[in-house]
Chains A and B, each alone.
Chain A
């Protein structure tokens, strides 16, 4: 009776009925250094989850704690309702694709892939290995040693070796980091396809924001041991909540502003003498001052006084200080009257003319694209790490 009642209760609070991976208050310290600080995370079953952050932000440590290779200093980790915080790695239904693959050099590909199944004394190992090698398109390489394969092939072996065990959660620790750009794009699509096919929970750790956004359903941006923001890739990109997220995911123009009024669903901010309005849902600052954020591709550039398709915010008095033509778009740096240089990306549609360095221009953007961030945050946080 009671069991039935429990099962039908929706997952509420810290109830054990949650069937995904759940981290609660997880902290990991190495001596005086805290790698992960009071981390709460819910990863639903069957999702492709990306943990994104610069190197040293604690994302790999988090992954290693889920894998059981590191024990948390405090907090709990539960998987499908079971507490696995201190379970030995070989007792967890979790497998990892390691950063450098960690394939066993003394075993051939077939034996590498069969390793996990053999340890669990599963029957029909050979058949399953053949199927798995077919999935990653490596049937013909079964009797080769890992050293004889290319980087991309080794990566697929590492994936097959982990996937064949049908873990509750598959952890991927920068699995594409060692591949060259072209191969990486191919593998991203491949990984996404396999995840959809097998329907397992994938937790992908990466410092490559493009990789995280193309593959994951949900991205958590991590910085200095805490999660800055979590959500769908579009949501993170379009409506960042912190300066770190705004700079680490793509690029942002952050301009100082003073809040003039908050009325209903619009906040009006004084930006160096010009009033700009921002939807209330996109303001993440409580104080009087804030950083007005706008993505470079949302900024329109035009001749002074020209009517642009952006009712509301129009900022005159800019001078083009740098032009770089990158083919698909042109990237301008525009010096504003208050001395700041703003980035503007213009699609090369052919409808608009190119501006030259030194030309006076006027910028504008639609108010619904702007966002407001807390002024106490560092406006350059995450900017330099986001470059690679």
Chain B
């Protein structure tokens, strides 16, 4: 009796660690494709960018491809290009704010007021993506042209002087950014406003909240996840954008994206371009982290 009772657990113990180990291995095997993908498309390029930003620009081509920990690059980049960097953040910020206001109204209207036209409206929001980003930005050049109807009208009502113009001004660049990134704001906002139970808004009005108070106490807080993801999706690409500044602005509206692009392609100054990219990335990352903490929507991360 006793011997059989003792033998049974041994047999079990023999089998169990084995299957446990095998199960562990299966787990690693299953995440292997993901890890490979990340290494190939994220770790390698990222390492290459970091390495490039630390090259010694004075070195020869041979020595230049070695990691030289030349941190001086960052300082030089900041000293030389802090104005386009700050300008990018400001333009991106203003464009994001405009997108938020316009996008919220649009998303709210689509979610609550359009009824059976809802899907058509959503398609219309996405429709511009069927044409190229460049073509759409170029068409803004026509709209805002010096002899275009917008400028004509503004001159007639004396908001612009006789020789006033919109092209090559910050207005044109911010307008272009706002237009181009509006869908990135509208879609996440729509997704979160559409989810709001209409009965909650009814409940707020039943509990003595007029429509204005009801909006700020119920609709707005419930749409915050959409606001946060929408602003991030708009702000991040808007800050790094260079097409709008290049096509609608002048060298005075140069944004950091243009600088990086010209450093890479025209000046062949890889270290400075890479350093600027890193600075931009770290800045945005820091801002996003602070923003998400403040908005109290950590679950988005």
Asked if A165 and B208 make an inter-chain contact with CB atoms under 8 angstroms apart, the answer reads: yes
Whether B210 sits at the interface, judged by CB under 8 Å, is yes
**Cβ–Cβ < 8 Å partners of B217 in chain A:** 115
Known contacts A105-B222, A106-B221, A106-B222; is A120 also within 8 Å of B208 by CB?
yes
**Cβ–Cβ < 8 Å partners of B171 in chain A:** none
Summarize B's interface: helix, strand, loop or mixed.
helix
Beta-carbon nearest neighbor of A164 in chain B = B207
Asked if A102 and B208 make an inter-chain contact with CB atoms under 8 angstroms apart, the answer reads: no
Whether B134 sits at the interface, judged by CB under 8 Å, is no
Stretch at the interface among B13-21, B68-76, B114-122, B198-206: B198-206
Asked if A115 and B199 make an inter-chain contact with CB atoms under 8 angstroms apart, the answer reads: no
For B210, give its contact among A90, A95, A102, A106 (CB under 8 Å): A90
**Cβ–Cβ < 8 Å partners of B209 in chain A:** 90, 115, 119
- Shortest Cβ distance from residue B222 to the other chain A in the assembled complex, whole angstroms: 6
Chain B 47-75: CB-based contact to A (< 8 A → 1; otherwise 0)? 00000000000000000000000000000
Whether B142 sits at the interface, judged by CB under 8 Å, is no
Whether A104 sits at the interface, judged by CB under 8 Å, is yes
Whether A89 sits at the interface, judged by CB under 8 Å, is yes
Asked if B207 and A165 make an inter-chain contact with CB atoms under 8 angstroms apart, the answer reads: yes
Chain B 184-212: CB-based contact to A (< 8 A → 1; otherwise 0)? 00000000000001011011111111100
- Shortest Cβ distance from residue B152 to the other chain A in the assembled complex, whole angstroms: 45
- Shortest Cβ distance from residue A118 to the other chain B in the assembled complex, whole angstroms: 9
Segment 343-365 of A: residues with Cβ below 8 Å from B: none
Q: CA–CA, A94 to B203, complex, Å?
A: 12
Q: CA–CA, A106 to B208, complex, Å?
A: 18
- Shortest Cβ distance from residue B242 to the other chain A in the assembled complex, whole angstroms: 39
**Cβ–Cβ < 8 Å partners of A96 in chain B:** 203, 206
For B218, give its contact among A94, A104, A120 (CB under 8 Å): A104
Q: CA–CA, A115 to B201, complex, Å?
A: 13
Chain A 143-172: CB-based contact to B (< 8 A → 1; otherwise 0)? 000000000000000000110010000000
Beta-carbon nearest neighbor of B197 in chain A = A102
Whether A262 sits at the interface, judged by CB under 8 Å, is no
**Cβ–Cβ < 8 Å partners of A68 in chain B:** 205-206
**Cβ–Cβ < 8 Å partners of A104 in chain B:** 200, 203-204, 218
Whether A192 sits at the interface, judged by CB under 8 Å, is no
**Cβ–Cβ < 8 Å partners of A90 in chain B:** 205-210, 214
Whether A281 sits at the interface, judged by CB under 8 Å, is no
Asked if B206 and A95 make an inter-chain contact with CB atoms under 8 angstroms apart, the answer reads: yes
- Shortest Cβ distance from residue A92 to the other chain B in the assembled complex, whole angstroms: 8
Number of residue pairs across A and B with beta carbons under 8 Å?
57
Chain B 213-238: CB-based contact to A (< 8 A → 1; otherwise 0)? 11001100110000000000000000
Q: CA–CA, A68 to B208, complex, Å?
A: 12
Whether A11 sits at the interface, judged by CB under 8 Å, is no
Whether A231 sits at the interface, judged by CB under 8 Å, is no
Asked if A89 and B206 make an inter-chain contact with CB atoms under 8 angstroms apart, the answer reads: yes
Tally of contact residues, B, Cβ under 8 A: 18
For B208, give its contact among A69, A98, A103, A116 (CB under 8 Å): A116
- Shortest Cβ distance from residue B132 to the other chain A in the assembled complex, whole angstroms: 41
**In this complex, which of B202, B208, B213, B221 has the most chain A Cβ atoms within 10 angstroms of its Cβ?**
B208
Beta-carbon nearest neighbor of A94 in chain B = B206
- Shortest Cβ distance from residue A290 to the other chain B in the assembled complex, whole angstroms: 45
- Shortest Cβ distance from residue B213 to the other chain A in the assembled complex, whole angstroms: 6
Whether A268 sits at the interface, judged by CB under 8 Å, is no
Chain B 267-287: CB-based contact to A (< 8 A → 1; otherwise 0)? 000000000000000000000
Asked if A116 and B207 make an inter-chain contact with CB atoms under 8 angstroms apart, the answer reads: yes
Q: CA–CA, A94 to B208, complex, Å?
A: 9
Q: CA–CA, A231 to B222, complex, Å?
A: 44
Beta-carbon nearest neighbor of B213 in chain A = A119
Q: CA–CA, A198 to B205, complex, Å?
A: 23
Asked if B207 and A119 make an inter-chain contact with CB atoms under 8 angstroms apart, the answer reads: yes
Asked if B199 and A100 make an inter-chain contact with CB atoms under 8 angstroms apart, the answer reads: yes
**Cβ–Cβ < 8 Å partners of B200 in chain A:** 102, 104-105
Asked if B207 and A98 make an inter-chain contact with CB atoms under 8 angstroms apart, the answer reads: no
- Shortest Cβ distance from residue B196 to the other chain A in the assembled complex, whole angstroms: 10
Beta-carbon nearest neighbor of A106 in chain B = B221
Q: CA–CA, A94 to B206, complex, Å?
A: 7
- Shortest Cβ distance from residue B202 to the other chain A in the assembled complex, whole angstroms: 5
Q: CA–CA, A119 to B205, complex, Å?
A: 10
Q: CA–CA, A186 to B24, complex, Å?
A: 51
Asked if B204 and A115 make an inter-chain contact with CB atoms under 8 angstroms apart, the answer reads: yes
- Shortest Cβ distance from residue A125 to the other chain B in the assembled complex, whole angstroms: 13
- Shortest Cβ distance from residue B206 to the other chain A in the assembled complex, whole angstroms: 5
**Cβ–Cβ < 8 Å partners of B207 in chain A:** 90, 95, 115-116, 119, 161-162, 165
**Cβ–Cβ < 8 Å partners of A98 in chain B:** 199, 202-203
Beta-carbon nearest neighbor of B196 in chain A = A105
**Cβ–Cβ < 8 Å partners of A116 in chain B:** 207-208
**In this complex, which of B197, B202, B206, B210 has the most chain A Cβ atoms within 10 angstroms of its Cβ?**
B206
Chain B residues within CB distance 8 Å of chain A: 197, 199-200, 202-210, 213-214, 217-218, 221-222
Extra contacts, 10 of them, besides A98-B203, A119-B207 (Cβ < 8 A), are A88-B205, A90-B208, A94-B206, A96-B206, A104-B203, A104-B218, A105-B200, A115-B207, A115-B217, A165-B208
In the complex, 20 of the A-B residue pairs with CB atoms within 8 angstroms, ordered by the A residue number, are A68-B206, A69-B206, A89-B205, A90-B205, A90-B207, A90-B210, A94-B206, A95-B206, A95-B207, A96-B206, A103-B203, A104-B203, A105-B222, A115-B207, A115-B209, A116-B208, A119-B207, A120-B208, A162-B206, A165-B208
Chain A residues within CB distance 8 Å of chain B: 67-69, 88-90, 94-96, 98, 100, 102-106, 115-116, 119-120, 161-162, 165
The 10 closest A-B pairs by CB, nearest first: A116-B207, A102-B203, A119-B208, A102-B199, A89-B205, A106-B221, A90-B208, A119-B209, A90-B205, A96-B206
